[in-house]
Amino acid sequence: MKIALAFSGGGVRATVFHLGVLARLAREDLLGNVHMISSVSGGSLAAGLVFAATNNRWPSSAEYLHEVVPKILHLLTTQNLQRSYVIKSLMFPWQILSGRAAVLGDELERRWQINGDLSDLPESPRWLINATCYQTGKNWRFQRDLMGDYQTKYIVDPKLPLSHALAASAAVPGLIGPLIVKAKHHRWQEMRNDEWHSIPAKYKRLHLWDGGVYDNLGVEALFKPGIGLVDGTDFLIVCDASRPLGSESRRSKWRPGYLKASMRLVDVATDQVRSLRARMLIDHFKKNPGSGAYLRLGLKSKRPTLRAHTPPEATASSSGIRDSHWTEQPSLTDEEVDRVSRIETTLRRLNHQEFSMLFRHGYEVANGTLARYGGESLDQLPRSRVLLRAA
C-alpha cells in the first residue's frame, strides 16, 4: 500500500496533532509505506521536524517512536519560536528585507535545528511544501528539485534553505510576514514538449504567504475532484487540525480594531473553503470505500469503540515494535478534547501537558478509524470501508 498524507495548518497545535497521527501509523510499522506528503503551515513544521530529527531522511517506524518523538517533544516544550522570532525582528530590522518569514526561517534553523536546503531532502517520500503566492493568488509548491506555481512558472533545482520554505508555508497573515523571492536571483523555466525552456521572470519580486490561505488541508496536490487520488498512491489520509471557527478569532489587545476585523474575515473565508474541500473528500471516500480517511481535530463520540484502544503498554505489536515510553491511560475526555481544540494558532512553546494531550488526541483520532471497524490493521484499510468524519 502506498500512503499519501495531507497535513493541514494550525500552528503548533497542528504540528503535534499530526505527530500523534504518525505515531499511530508507526505502531503498525507503516511509515515505510508513506510515498507522498503534502503539507501546509503547522503541518509543514511537523514534517520538517521529523526530517530534521533524522538528518533529512524519512525515519523507520521504530526510529520514529523511540528517537524522533522524544527529540521533538524536547524542542517544542523548551523553545519558544514565536518569542525568538519577535525579538529578532525588533533587534535586527534590516533582516526583514527578505521578508519576515526569512527571519522566522533563520529561527527555525537556530532553535528547531532544521538545517539543509530543499535539495537535501530524500526522493522518497516525495514532500510538497505549500505556500500561497500573493502576486498570482495560486498555490506555490516547494519540492526537492522544483519550486513555483503554474502561472509564475518554475525554478528547477532551487537553492533555498529548507527552513525558509517552511517559514513561507507558515507565514500566517497577521502573525508572520511573507517570504520575499527576488526573481533576479533565480533562473526561471517552463515545460514545453517535455523539456525545460528558460523564460524571463514575470515579476521582480514574489511574496509567499501561508499555504493555508489557498488550501488549509494541503490536499490539492494529492486529490483531484472527479479523478481521485494522484497516480502512484492507494490511500489518502487527510489530517485536519484546523481550529473550529468560534464567535471570535485572533484576539489581541495589541491589534487595532480594523486589523482584527480583517483577520476575522480571512478566518471566515478560510474556514468556508476548508469545509467545502472536506465535504468533497468525504463524499469521495463514501463513494470509493477504502480510498482514504479524514481525521479531524476535535473528534469525539459517545460510541465506546472510538475509545476502545489507547497507546498500549510496552508490548510487541504485530510489527514487532516495542516502546517502553507508552503506558496504558484513559482516553481524553470530551472536555480535554475541547481544550486542545481551542489552542490558538501560534508558534509559542507548549507545556508538557499541552503536548501530551495534543499528541494523544492525534493518536486517538487515527486509532478511532481502526476501533470502529473491529481493530483492523491499517495495512488492511484499502480492503475495508474506512471513513472518519467530524462529530
pLDDT in tens, 14-65: 999 999 999 999 999 999 999 999 999 999 999 999 999 999 999 999 999 9
Q: Rounded distance, CA 362 to CA 19, Å?
A: 7
Query: What is the average per-residue pLDDT within 250-277?
Result: 66
370 or 10: whose pLDDT is higher?
10
The 8-class DSSP code of residue 243 comes to P
Q: For residue 252, how many other CB atoms are within 10 A of its CB?
A: 12
Cell 525568538 belongs to residue: 84
pLDDT of 306 reads: 45
Query: What is the average per-residue pLDDT within 340-349?
Result: 93
pLDDT of 368 reads: 86
Looking at domain 3-244+269-307+321-379, its CATH class is: alpha beta
Between 3-12, 116-125, 232-241, 316-325, the lowest mean confidence (pLDDT) is in 316-325
Answer whether 4's CB lies under 8 Å from 35's CB: yes
Examine residue 125 and say whether the peptide bond preceding it is cis (omega within 30 degrees of 0): yes
270 or 387: whose pLDDT is higher?
270
Answer whether 266's CB lies under 8 Å from 213's CB: yes
pLDDT of 168 reads: 97
pLDDT of 260 reads: 62
Q: Is a pLDDT exceeding 90 seen at residue 375?
A: no
Domain ranges of the chain: 3-244+269-307+321-379
Reported pTM: 0.87
pLDDT of 383 reads: 38
Query: What is the average per-residue pLDDT within 166-192?
Result: 93
pLDDT of 382 reads: 41
| pLDDT-derived band at 70, boundaries 50, 70, 90 | very high
pLDDT of 312 reads: 41
pLDDT of 150 reads: 95
* CA 82 and chain centroid, separation: 18
Q: Is a pLDDT exceeding 80 seen at residue 174?
A: no
